[in-house]
Amino acid sequence: MTANWIIRKGVPPALAGAAARLYWRSFGADLCPCALDPRRGAALVRALMQPDRALIAIGASGGVLGIAGLRGSRGGFLELSPGACRQVLGPWWGRLALAMANLHRGGETADLVLDGVAVRRGWQRQGIARALADAAGAEALRLGYPGLRAEVAAQNVTALAAWQALGFQPQGRQRLGWVWAAPAWVLRRPALSPAQAPSLVQGPAAPLIRA
């Protein structure tokens, strides 16, 4: 049966708010040292997002069903900005967020990093995460990266199993994210071969995969 969603490269302006809300709901606790309500958290994501460094799943009605941030040599889906942090969080919390974010970072990698994959509630287990990972593999191939990297908290055995089901293999543990973060598994999957990769059509909101 054909699913009613597609994967696209980039976040169109009209969908930036929905993409930011989904990303914050999934990763807010890892993004900011201060507790934020969902509205301010989504505003922070929207202020920091780089729309061209993401893949999104869009449903038949035009809603965002999934998102995958991408991090490569040019930077990641979210780029720290002193002005944006101060504007959303206020002067004191904005300075603290920037200081804490720069205290500890993950190790360097030659691979394209999947900087968080989130699927909207009610749409899990329908192949969206796999399609996002495959589209990221095609993007890695296009940009010349040898593989894809993902990171998952070591104690999150469910997420680890899900990544392994997508073909990612554990490479070891590192302490990633905030300085107090628990160890995380680093996982890797080789980039797709040209024969495996879904066709990539360039453009700010070009379709990658029709499911």
Pair of tokens at residue 84: 């944006």
Q: In this predicted model, what pLDDT tens digit does every residue of 19-48 receive, in sequence order? A: 999 999 988 777 665 667 888 888 888 888
What percent of the chain lies above the pLDDT cut of 70? 69
Residues 121-130: contacts with CB under 8 Å, at least 24 apart:
123/5, 123/57, 123/59, 123/65, 123/66, 126/3, 127/3, 127/211, 128/5, 128/57, 128/65, 128/66, 128/211, 129/66, 129/162, 129/166, 130/166
pLDDT at 95: 53
Look at residue 99 and tell me whether its pLDDT is greater than 80: no
Considering only residues 201 and 172, tell me which one the structure prediction assigns the higher pLDDT.
Answer: 172
Average pLDDT, the chain: 79
Look at residue 194 and tell me whether its pLDDT is greater than 80: no
Bridge partner list, 52:
none
- Chain centroid to CA 146: 19
Name the band, by pLDDT with cuts 50, 70 and 90, for residue 180: very low
Average pLDDT over residues 96-124: 72
Look at residue 50 and tell me whether its pLDDT is greater than 80: yes
Least confident of 156-160, 173-177, 190-194: 173-177
pLDDT at 202: 37
Look at residue 158 and tell me whether its pLDDT is greater than 80: yes
pLDDT at 193: 64
Considering only residues 119 and 199, tell me which one the structure prediction assigns the higher pLDDT.
Answer: 119
Look at residue 70 and tell me whether its pLDDT is greater than 90: yes
pLDDT at 196: 61
Name the band, by pLDDT with cuts 50, 70 and 90, for residue 109: confident
Pair of tokens at residue 18: 């929905």
Look at residue 112 and tell me whether its pLDDT is greater than 90: yes
10 contact partners, CB below 8 Å, separation of at least 6:
51, 52, 54, 56, 203, 204, 205, 206
pLDDT at 181: 57
